[in-house]
Amino acid sequence: MKAYTISRYSKTAKLQCSELPQPTVGEHDVLIEVHAAAVNLLDAKIKSGEFKLLLPYKFPLVLGHDVAGVIVKIGASVKNFKIGDAVYARPADFRIGTFAEFIVVNEADVAPKPHNISMEEAASLPLVALTAWQALVELANVQQGQKVFIQAGSGGVGTIAIQLAKYLGATVATTASTQNFEWLRKLGADVLIDYRTQDFVQILKDYDVALNSQDSETLQKSLSVLKKGGKLVSISGPPTPAFARQRGATWIVKMIIWLISRSVCQKAKAGNIDYQFLFMKASGSQLREIKALIEAGVIRPVIDKVFSFEQTNEALSYVESGRSKGKVVIKLK
């Protein structure tokens, strides 16, 4: 099969179009013929080596964390799927590789594709929708009437998180450029802040939840807009010592994480704020819940551009540029 691979960590090297053996199907696995795959900033960060301490991948490595396609083979113990099923998934860590014609995924990480959207739209959703779900539902437990601050509303996670927070009954604030205000209001944003000319610290006060996706400076500032007892969930770091323990990190990695997170953890504790780092996990059961929301019209995908499989490098470069509004998708079928 054709796949786009890297042979070493590099910020500048291009993905290589390689010929690889079709992956072997395990007892609880399904083999998915990839119809579409989304590109995420996470792919660029893994490619550059940013996560090599936490995710020590082996080479050659096929990138890609989102897939929509059709099952063409199943393992002997697979119970919930059959050949011919249209599905979508976020493969688990160390089993990624959707920039390829085929991928093997554990059935526990797979869900039926929502019937009312295309393969490209379905491929755009798993990673960002699971991130939003795990941040707002699992960790923050957002409730009716709360105030939620979601940074970078026009990004892949932001567009889904705004819709989910609104569905949960929250008042939603977000940052974006003014040209995106109108369509973000349609997604459910109530308070819109122009990140170029306004400082959200001067506008927001006593928020219950903040979802940080920006740099460490923005993370520190986010603490000041939360009320006592508020919750700050970050998907861009720094990781917390608790996260390092959960990942079974080595002592040296635990020490590094403690050092880089000490300042924000201390500030959060002083303000009686619950700070948690989220590195989202694969979950077919959560994708089934998200599927129901998509089919009910509560959540809709937001796609910026669709590239061909041959344009995978161009798609990754576009995501790295930070210009995308919503998701970037690669179409194979």
In the chain, the domains with their CATH numbers are 2-125+302-331 (3.90.180.10), 128-277 (3.40.50.720)
Q: What is the mean pLDDT of each run of 10 residues along the chain (333 residues)?
A: 97 96 97 98 94 89 98 98 98 97 98 98 98 98 98 96 98 97 97 97 98 92 96 87 76 78 86 94 98 98 98 97 93 96
Show the tokens assigned to 333: 């079928």
Of 71, 64, 90, 41, the C-alpha closest to 290 is 90
- Other C-beta atoms within 10 Å of 146: how many? 20
**Dist CA 233 CA 320 (whole Å):** 23
b/e per residue 230-245 (b: at least 16 CB within 10 A): bbbbbbbbbbbbebbe
Label the pairing between strands 86-89 and 147-150: unpaired
Query: What is the predicted pLDDT for the residue at 257?
Result: 77
Closest CA to 212 of 269, 256, 261, 148: 148
List pLDDT tens digits, range 293-326: 999 999 999 999 999 999 999 999 999 998 889 9
Is residue 122 within 8 A of residue 114, CB to CB? The reply is yes
Q: What is the pTM of this model?
A: 0.95
| DSSP 3-state of 314 | helix
Whether the bond into 114 is cis, omega within 30 of 0? no
Token pair listed for 314: 């161009």
What is the pLDDT at residue 169? 98
What CA–CA distance (Å, rounded) separates 266 from 238? 13
- pLDDT, residue 241, reads 78
**What's the pLDDT score for residue 98?**
98
Query: Vertex 146, ends 292 and 153: CA angle to 5°?
Result: 65
pLDDT value of residue 42: 94
Half-sphere exposure of 289 (CA within 13 A, CB side): 11
Q: Is 252 helix (H, G, I), strand (E, B) or coil?
A: helix
* Strand intervals (E) in the chain: 2-6, 16-19, 29-39, 61-62, 67-74, 86-89, 102-106, 110-112, 147-150, 171-176, 191-194, 207-212, 226-234, 274-277, 303-308, 327-331
Cα–Cα dist 273/65, whole Å:
31
